[in-house]
Amino acid sequence: MTAVELIGVTKEYESGDRRVTALDDINVTVDEGEFVSVIGPSGSGKSTMLNLIGLLDRPTSGRVVVGGVDATDMSESRRTEKRGEVIGFVFQDFYLLPNLTAEENVRMPTAFNKSRVDSGRARELLGRVGLGDRVDHYPNELSGGQKQRVAIARSLINSPEVLLTDEPTGNLDLDTSERILGEISKVRETGVSVIAVTHDPMVEEYADRTVELVDGRLSDSRSDTARVGGEP
């Protein structure tokens, strides 16, 4: 079953008095439980693609379908709601709230929706990422890898269908990166699709396939992009 579909998506920005095309007529499909890494040089449109799938941005043209629902024309409020329901984010800089404990950080997204998630679920998720003994620690008491694992637990609290990660290993050493990728990889077992934007070749080793973007277009150079590009 398809978790994410970008259909003929183009994204243009105004930059001063000229228009910059960040993505140019892209077609991407990601299946349920699939791990796709997105690579490409800086400025190739990787983050733009992630923002469009994450409903943080709107395409200039084309359609964005997430969790089987066309979100292209949704209102800002509905998109925010949808984001909370079906998408989990993991960022390079973690963005944990420094005044909340690990467990409170994991529960933070539930403060904005009607779901009543108790601390048991947050503790269970922290246990799953190997931080069962750090639930009451504040971010400044955690290492970079531990913070990123808290961020992964936070991204899963609302049981998302799609997990989006932007340079998840960007600030981590080799050993920690392997552990984080192992955690992200495990997420797929529960049917969650993972899309990881990265410069890190190690991510590709964990991904089911890799998509390469060059100047806002999908590159044909990679052999494992069979379900990417072409006609939807």
**Per-residue buried b or exposed e for 115-148, using 16+ beta carbons within 10 Å of the residue's own CB:** eebeeebbbebbebbebeebbebbbeebeebbbb
Q: Using CB under 8 A, which of the segments 17-25, 54-62, 127-135, 213-221 binds other proteins?
A: 54-62
Per rule CB under 8 A, is residue 119 in the interface with other proteins? no
Single residue of 149, 154, 165, 181 touching other proteins by CB under 8 A:
154
How far is residue 151's CA from residue 145's CA, in Å, rounded to a whole number? 10
> Residue 129 Cβ, how far from other proteins at the closest point, in Å?
17
CA distance readout (Å), 81 to 24, 107, 114, 132, 158: 28, 16, 10, 30, 12
For other proteins, the closer of residues 96 and 228 by Cβ is 96
For other proteins, the closer of residues 57 and 208 by Cβ is 57
Q: Burial, 33: exposed, middle or buried (Cβ in 10 Å; 0-12, 13-18, 19+)? A: middle
Per rule CB under 8 A, is residue 100 in the interface with other proteins? yes
Single residue of 80, 159, 176, 219 touching other proteins by CB under 8 A:
80
Per rule CB under 8 A, is residue 204 in the interface with other proteins? no
> Residue 72 Cβ, how far from other proteins at the closest point, in Å?
17
Q: Using CB under 8 A, which of the segments 3-11, 22-30, 108-116, 123-131 binds other proteins?
A: 108-116
Single residue of 12, 29, 108, 217 touching other proteins by CB under 8 A:
108
Per rule CB under 8 A, is residue 12 in the interface with other proteins? no
Per rule CB under 8 A, is residue 83 in the interface with other proteins? yes
Per rule CB under 8 A, is residue 47 in the interface with other proteins? yes
Strands 193-197 and 162-166: parallel
Give the interface with other proteins as residue ranges (CB under 8 A). 47, 51, 54, 56-57, 76-77, 80-81, 83-85, 88-89, 91, 93, 95, 97-100, 108-109, 111-113, 154-155, 158
